[in-house]
Amino acid sequence: MSATAGKLEQLPGLPCTEECLLRAGNTNCGGCGMSTGLTMLGRALRDAGETCTLVIPACCGIVTAGAFPTTSYGVPTVATTFASAPAVASGLASIRDLNGEPGQVICWAGDGGTYDIGLATLSAAAERNENIIYFCYDNEIYGNTGGQRSSSTPAAAHTTTTPWGKAEDKKDIVSIMAAHRIPYAATLSIAHPEDFADKIKQALSMTGMRFLLIHSPCPTGWKSEPADSVELVRIAVNSGLFPLYEVFHGLDYKINVEPDGTTDPADYFSRQKRFHPDEIDLEATRKRCENRFNQLRALARINLAPVS
Ligand SMILES: Cc1ncc(C[n+]2csc(CCOP(=O)(O)OP(=O)(O)O)c2C)c(N)n1
Ligand code: SF4
C-alpha cells in the first residue's frame, strides 16, 4: 500500500489534491467519459479529504497511466489481470484495515472487466462484503482493443463483433449487484455532476462493498462527436434510457432523476453512428423505458399505482 514509484504527488494517508487522480498530459481520446468521470471522482475525494489506492484491470483506464516511469495517476495504482481486480482490491483493503491505515481502495474498471470477465471475482467480493468501492465506467464496449461487444452493449449497436447490430439487450448489472445485498449500488452520469458527487459522498460515508456504475460516453466506440459526449448521456438520463437510482442493502430503492417527459430516445440513437436509425424500434424502446421506470417506481414505493 505504500507509494514506491517515487514521482507520486500523493502519498497514502494524505487527502487528494485537485489533480491527484487524473493528471493533465494523459493520452485518452477527446470527449472520453472515463476521463471526466476520473476528474469528478478526484474532486469528490478532495472535497471529502480522502485519498485512495486505485486497482485497475485491463481496460482504457490502465492505458491512461502511460509508460513507466511516468504516470498520469497521482495516487498509488495497481494494474491487475482482467479478471482479478476485485480480488486484488479485497487483499489490499484487508491489509489496510488490519493495519488501521486510512484511505479507500477503489477498483476502476470498464464494462468488459465488470459485466463479463471480472464478474466472478466481483460477485465473490460482493458476497464477502469486502470493504472496497468498485466503479464501472460503462462505455458499453471493449474500447481499448478496438470496440468489441460486451454484455453491456445495448441491442442494435454495431461493434466489430456485431457488424449487423447486437441482438441481445444490455445486461442489468445493478440488479445483479443489488441481489448480493451489498450496502450500496448506484448509477451515475457525468451529465449530472451534483448527483454524481452526492453518490460518491454517500459511498465514502459507508463501509463494505459499494458499487457505482457510470454511463461513460466513448466517441471512438460510439462513433459520436467528442463535443456531444455529455449531451448524449444527458439525453439517456432524461429519456429514461439510463435511469439514475440508488439501492441500499439490495432492498431500498431511491430514484434520483425522473425522465423529463419531453426528451425522446430517438435523439440518443441518431447522434451515434453505432446505431442505424432504420434498425431501431423506437416504440418498443419507449415502452421498455416506461416499463423499467414503472418497475423502479414500484421498487422505490414512490408510485404504487398499477403498471399500465
Ligand atoms: C484475459 C484477457 N483477455 C483479453 C485481454 C485483452 N484486452 C485488454 S483490455 C480489453 C478490453 C477492455 O474492455 P473494457 O473492460 O470494457 O474496458 P475499455 O477498454 O472499454 O476501457 C481486452 C479485450 C486481456 N488483457 N486479458
Ligand atoms: S476508446 Fe473510449 S473509453 Fe477508451 S480512451 Fe477512447 S473514448 Fe475513452
Look at residue 79 and tell me whether its pLDDT is greater than 60. yes
C-alpha cell recorded at residue 33? 467519459
Q: Is residue 272 within 8 Å of residue 153, measured between CB atoms?
A: no
Confidence of residue 5 (pLDDT cuts 50, 70, 90): very low
Confidence of residue 209 (pLDDT cuts 50, 70, 90): very high
Q: Is residue 56 in contact with ligand 1, taking CB distance under 6 Å?
A: no
Q: Is residue 142 in contact with ligand 1, taking CB distance under 6 Å?
A: yes
Q: Is residue 229 in contact with ligand 2, taking CB distance under 6 Å?
A: no
pLDDT of residue 4: 36
- Tell me the CA–centroid distance for residue 150 and ligand 2, in Å: 15
Instruction: Name the nearest CA neighbour of 155 among 169, 145, 173, 135.
Output: 169
Q: Is residue 31 within 8 Å of residue 221, measured between CB atoms?
A: no
**Domains of the chain listed by start with CATH number:** 33-300 (3.40.50.970)
Look at residue 129 and tell me whether its pLDDT is greater than 80. yes
Count the Cβ atoms, other than its own, within 10 Å of residue 222. 25
Q: Is residue 58 in contact with ligand 1, taking CB distance under 6 Å?
A: yes
Q: What is the mean pLDDT of residues 266-289?
A: 96
Instruction: Name the nearest CA neighbour of 150 among 174, 116, 183.
Output: 116
Look at residue 270 and tell me whether its pLDDT is greater than 80. yes
Ligand 1 atom with the smallest distance to the CA of 116 is 15
Q: Is residue 247 within 8 Å of residue 295, measured between CB atoms?
A: no
